[in-house]
A and B are shown apart, each in its own frame.
Chain A
Amino acid sequence: MIQTQLAIIGGGPAGLCAAISAAESGSKVLLIERNDTLGGQLVKQTHMFFGSEKQYASTRGIDIAKILLDKLEEHKDNITIMKDTTVLGIYEDGVITAMRDEDKYMKIKPEALIVATGASEKFLAFPNNDLPGIYGAGAVQTLMNVHGVKPGNKVLMVGAGNIGLIVSYQLMQAGVKVEAIIDAAPKIGGYLVHASKIRRMGVPIYTSYTVKEAIGSDALEKAIIWKLDEAWKPIAGSEISFDVDVMCVSVGLTPLNELLVMSGCEMQYIPELSGIVPMRNENYQTTVPHIFTAGDSCGVEEASSAMVEGYLAGLCASDHIGNRHPMYEEKKADFINQLEGLRSGPEAAHIRSGVEKSLRR
Chain B
Amino acid sequence: MRIKEHPILNFNRGKEIHFRFSGKTMIGYEGETVAAALHANGVKVLGESIEKHRPRGFYCAIGNCSSCLMEVDGVPNVKTCVTKLKEGMSVEIQKGKGELK
Contacts and interface: CB of A to CB of B under 8 A. Distances in A.
Contacts of A149: 1-3, 32, 36, 39-40
A139 B59 CA distance: 7
Interface in B1-19: 1-3, 5-9, 11, 13
B34 to A, nearest CB: 11
Interface in A108-150: 120-121, 123, 130-136, 138-139, 142-150
A132 B44 contact: yes
Nearest to B57: A132
A144 B9 CA distance: 10
A336 B44 CA distance: 46
Interface string A76-114: 000000000000000000000000000000000000000
B46 interface: yes
B72 to A, nearest CB: 10
Contacts of B82: 34-35
Contacts of B56: 130, 132
A147 B32 contact: yes
A246 to B, nearest CB: 9
A256 B54 CA distance: 27
B62 interface: yes
A139 B58 contact: yes
A204 interface: no
Contacts of B44: 132-133, 218-219
A160 B25 CA distance: 40
Contacts, number: 96
Contacts of A11: none
B45 A136 contact: no
A143 B36 CA distance: 6
Contacts of A133: 44, 57
Interface string B34-58: 0010011000111001000011111
A36 interface: yes
B61 interface: yes
A234 B17 CA distance: 49
Contacts of B57: 131-135, 219
Contacts of A131: 55, 57
- Looking at A121, A134, A145, A148, which has the most chain B CB atoms within 10 Å of its CB? A148
A175 interface: yes
B33 interface: yes
Contacts of A130: 49, 54, 56, 67
Contacts of B32: 147, 149
Contacts of B60: 120-121, 136, 138-139
Contact of B64 (A134, A175, A219, A256): A256
B20 interface: no
A151 interface: yes
Given A136-B61, A148-B13, 9 more contacts: A34-B63, A120-B60, A120-B65, A132-B44, A135-B58, A136-B65, A147-B40, A174-B3, A219-B44
13 contacts: A34-B82, A36-B84, A120-B60, A123-B59, A132-B56, A138-B61, A148-B3, A149-B32, A149-B40, A151-B39, A218-B45, A219-B44, A256-B64
